[in-house]
Chains A and B, each alone.
Chain A
């Protein structure tokens, strides 16, 4: 680190950024690198959960993706990266200043192929659905006047119809491969999902310049990727 950079970092407030464990982390590392912030050290060591970048006055931590909005809402982290699925499900009080365009997938309703043959979603009145997203599921169907019994699961949602736990599921699809392998087909779209940069309200108000600077750099990186 050059002297000038040391000086620049002195007295700089740390911005803490919560990153989701797993698939998105890799994409996020690349995106932040394009924005001039390298925290790839977190990728190389599974046990390492915190990475400091004193030059930039940034601290990264890796937590479960569902926990990111909580950390940020309470101010334990100033910023975070979270999927729109998690954000809509938890409906927390956060700013979402940037669509990072990573972690792209769709949330949809699926059911077994045999069931779809003579099924008409317009006639549904009362259905049973397995999902990781009970709030989204409830809202999606209640808005259409459909009563829904929700089976809340934590993973392997595609198994539920095979084992008779529920007729239908609401889950994320990327390529559709998992659905196909399990004999399921899409019947309805729920929403498109990408990962967002989220920000604590107080952090944005008390450190507006730093937040804006990071948002600007990341948004240039996002625009650059899109080209």
Chain B
């Protein structure tokens, strides 16, 4: 018998058969319906973009993960989209300037994020997401996005989930106040990022007198400022009550976002983590991620990115997030583990 030809797939992508496609369709439809209820209009973005155009709107962590190739007809480098947000920024800046603000757009599409893939992690990610573009940033817009995320998860039937809120704006204010070099700040940021209190302690000690005592106390505590909303109060005690500093303004804003979300009845579904440094170079304010019991990865993520549209020549504030559809399906299949 002859060997059959090798009919295979590149690593990181997969077929979705009817049984799974059905569930994915249900999840996507429900989320889109909720977006629509909140006034978001769907756009469909192209699969390919020029890399230099995409790069305007990509965080550093994504730039290395883009599948790129040369367009034979023009010799320019094109890429398969690793993220929809820069595409929406481009569309808003180039085609939708005369639309009334705020601009509320949503999408349902897959993105491709290349991994070195030794462990067969997914490269193609199915997303449903929304972007809220407005003249000014506002706690109301941040809160609305978090409320939509929580409402969607609840309507999908998830009972045991948390939306974890961080604040890159607060962290940036704290870091801007430090009289340290960029590499020194980076070391501190990395230690905080993995909540490595022992490592952070060492770094800060080695920097000695370069960090003021108050800053030192605050930095050392950032690895433990996670949990319920009381951590906002704890952090406020460190940044003083003057209300003048950027850090305390950020905390006031965060408090405001939290109380709007809590008033909508989602208090028990929200946690705060002031030591979350993800997307530090990309986001500018409130960031958030969704987690479900029993699923090791986040099921949604997003945040405020007020500098992005400006890079496309459209000076607007914006916030947005996306659900990872397959991780949500995993979460829906999980039974809570109990003793």
Contact = CB atoms under 8 A, between A and B. Distances in A.
B339 A208 contact: no
A201 B298 contact: yes
Interface string A1-41: 00000000111111000000000000000000000000000
B194 A209 contact: no
Interface in A75-129: 75-76, 94-99
A201 B296 contact: yes
Contacts of A201: 291, 296-298
Nearest to A70: B119
Interface string B184-212: 00000000001111110000000000000
Interface stretch (B18-26, B172-180, B221-229): B221-229
Given A205-B271, A206-B162, A13 B337 contact: yes
A202 interface: yes
B65 to A, nearest CB: 14
B279 interface: no
B339 A14 contact: yes
B291 A98 contact: no
Contacts of A98: 197-198
Contacts of A200: 296
B194 A96 contact: yes
A9 B298 CA distance: 28
Interface in B281-305: 289, 291-298
B273 interface: yes
Interface in B83-137: none
A54 B339 contact: yes
B129 to A, nearest CB: 20
Given A206-B293, A208-B271, A99 B198 contact: yes
| Interface size class of chain A, counting residues whose CB lies under 8 Å from the partner chain | 20 to 34
B87 to A, nearest CB: 26
A212 B224 contact: yes
Contacts of A11: 338
Contacts, number: 76
Contacts of A76: 296
B272 to A, nearest CB: 9
A200 B297 CA distance: 9
Interface string A111-155: 000000000000000000000000000000000000000000000
B142 interface: no
B279 to A, nearest CB: 14
B162 A13 contact: no
A10 B339 CA distance: 7
A79 to B, nearest CB: 12
B291 A94 contact: no
A73 interface: yes
Given A11-B338, A205-B164, A206-B162, A97 B298 contact: no
A206 B292 contact: yes
Contacts of B273: 205
30 contacts: A13-B293, A13-B336, A13-B337, A54-B339, A57-B339, A73-B296, A75-B294, A75-B297, A95-B194, A95-B195, A96-B199, A99-B196, A201-B296, A202-B291, A202-B296, A202-B297, A202-B298, A205-B162, A205-B226, A205-B271, A205-B273, A205-B289, A206-B161, A206-B162, A206-B292, A208-B227, A208-B228, A212-B226, A212-B227, A219-B197
Interface of B: 160-162, 164, 194-199, 223-224, 226-228, 271, 273, 289, 291-298, 336-339
Q: Closest 9 interchain pairs by CB?
A: A75-B296, A99-B198, A208-B227, A202-B291, A205-B291, A205-B164, A95-B195, A97-B195, A96-B196
Given A201-B296, A212-B226, 17 more contacts: A9-B339, A13-B338, A14-B339, A57-B339, A75-B297, A95-B195, A96-B199, A97-B195, A97-B196, A196-B196, A201-B291, A202-B297, A205-B164, A206-B291, A208-B226, A208-B227, A208-B271
